[in-house]
Amino acid sequence: MMKLHNTNEMLKDAQKKHYAVPAFNIHNLETFQVVVDTASEMRSPVIIAATPSTVRYADKDYLVALTGTAMEKYDIPMSFHLDHHEDVAEIESTVAAGCRSVMIDASRLPYDENVNKVKEVVAFAHICGASVEAELGKLVGQEDDLVVDDADSAYTNPEDALRYVEDTGIDSLAVAIGTAHGLYKGTPKLDFDRLTEIRQRVEVPLVLHGASDVPDELVQKAISLGICKVNVATDLKIPFSNAVKEFFKENPGANDPRKYMTPGKEAMKAIVKHKIEVCGSQNRY
């Protein structure tokens, strides 16, 4: 089995060449196949992201093995990444199983507690050759079991961002500039001035969470201002599930997963392709 990669080199390349690496949340074999097959067809680096509940559902050993198999099959940069994980023991267990890219989400904690928890993960992960992403500030909405209300949302402070990177030793920083997890009630308003200030102070790659349902032009402007990893989740789940529902509506007696999963995969593939184009990551390898 091929040894998995961290995200450091691909994010540094994106930062240098002013594009973004898409990070797609997967849930099972079908969604995994859509992401890696489409990325390979488009010659795009790709990050396969899994939330805590996805890891529990699909099992870390299967996910590590799937990524290793995909790396042997396709010659594009890819990485299996833990997205919004909060349990340090679970992170360490998955890194020990072969994962080499993790996001420790301590954003709900006070600054000092956030730093201490992230430093603990960084110390372990770096010994194993894994990259670490962390978040300063909170995004409204729900990601897996993590829920943040409007009143609790907080934008990333540019001055704190520099101190946070220095205090923790992280490899990439997720910033809160107005995006949210899930779907938006209206058109999101992103604080590009804040993003510019953060980019001027922070050298590590910057990450945009909550990019689903954000207009393409806003995502592309964020990339032009320094974002080099874009997370996509909700935009993938909805078309997949809608296509499967439509198949059953037209074929109520269907019972073959190979038949009813295929329309979902096709619908999701169209979105993956579009997001790769928005990120400008096609034909990079």
Binding-site positions = 84, 105, 135, 181-182, 209-212, 231-234
Residues tagged in the binding site annotation for Zn(2+): 84, 105, 135, 181, 209
- Phi and psi (nearest 5°) for 103? -115, 120
Give yes or no: 83 in active site.
Answer: yes
Instruction: Give the chain as a DSSP string.
Output: -PPPP-SHHHHHHHHHHT--EEEEE--SHHHHHHHHHHHHHTT--EEEEE-HHHHHHH-HHHHHHHHHHHHHH--S-EEEEEEEE--HHHHHHHHHTT--EEEE--TTS-HHHHHHHHHHHHHHHHHTT-EEEEEESB-EEEETTEEE-GGG-BPPPHHHHHHHHHHH--SEEEE-SS-EES--SS-----HHHHHHHHHH--S-EEE---TTS-HHHHHHHHHTTEEEEEE-HHHHHHHHHHHHHHHHH-TT---HHHHHHHHHHHHHHHHHHHHHHHT-TT--
Residues tagged in the binding site annotation for dihydroxyacetone phosphate: 182, 210-212, 231-234
Residue type, 140: V
Residue that is written with structure tokens 């038949």 in the block: 259
Q: How many angstroms from the chain centroid is the CA of residue 185?
A: 22
Q: Is 26 exposed, middle or buried (0-12, 13-18, 19+ CB in 10 A)?
A: buried
Q: Which of 13, 83, 144, 171 is catalytic?
A: 83
Catalytic residue numbers, as ranges:
83
